[in-house]
Amino acid sequence: MGNSIAICPYEIEKSNDQNKATLGDHDLVIQSCQGNQSAFALLVSRYQEKLYRMIYFMVHHQEESWDLLQDTFIKAYHGLPHLKNPEIFKSWITKIAFNLTLNHLKRQSRFHKHSDDVLLNIANHKDSSPQKALEEEESRELLRKAISLLPAKQKSVLVLCDMEGYSYKEAAEILKCRIGTIMSRLFYARNSIREYLKSVES
């Protein structure tokens, strides 16, 4: 994406060590805690694009997204020594990014519009009528409106599961709730979107 991320008070260069690049998160976390900056730079390289997409989906503002992404890695960098289980680094850092973004949105008191591609993915779940509706620009606006009316907790699950492809288990770990709760929120969110579209189309 062309942007470099200062993940600690000083810039860390990405490592060209191919051996390190093949290591799993567990080993890279251990090495990072031992002061190996190139190991943490590899973790940044591994997750920055995915985290950026998630953040941008929520705030829909490039500069704010990069700021939040940098804050995420700074917080993760300083918090690594307290991560008891390096195996959960992926869900751990996703949770950091997610919470920072939610707090940012609460301060801003707003949720931004979502991209048409993501809207299509959500609306097209086991139902063809939203897909047909998306053929018209007016219907796209209605779909955005439907999502804007969802409770924040349902929006959060949509971001993780429908946009970023996290499993129910991973989403539950990030949001600190049961898998059944994730499934329920996702069901009601998708159903609310369909019901809203049906109501305005009738």
**Which CATH number fits the domain 116-201, given the four candidates 2.40.340.10, 2.40.240.10, 3.40.190.10, 1.10.10.10?**
1.10.10.10
Q: Where are the alpha helices (DSSP H) in 34-177?
A: 37-59, 62-79, 89-108, 116-123, 129-133, 137-148, 152-157, 168-175
pLDDT of 2 higher than 50: no
Q: Cα–Cα distance between 129 and 97 in angstroms, integer? A: 34
Q: Specify the CATH number of the domain 18-108.
A: 1.10.1740.10
CATH 1.10.1740.10 range(s) for the chain read 18-108
CATH 1.10.10.10 range(s) for the chain read 116-201
Quote the distance between the C-alpha of residue 112 and its chain's center.
Answer: 14
**Per-residue model confidence as pLDDT tens digits over 74-111:** 999 999 999 989 989 999 999 999 889 888 887 776 54
**Per-residue model confidence as pLDDT tens digits over 23-82:** 899 999 999 999 888 899 999 999 999 899 888 878 878 889 999 999 999 999 999 999
Quote the distance between the C-alpha of residue 72 and its chain's center.
Answer: 12
Q: Cα–Cα distance between 191 and 173 in angstroms, integer? A: 24
pLDDT of 121 higher than 60: no
Q: Where are the alpha helices (DSSP H) in 17-88?
A: 18-21, 25-33, 37-59, 62-79
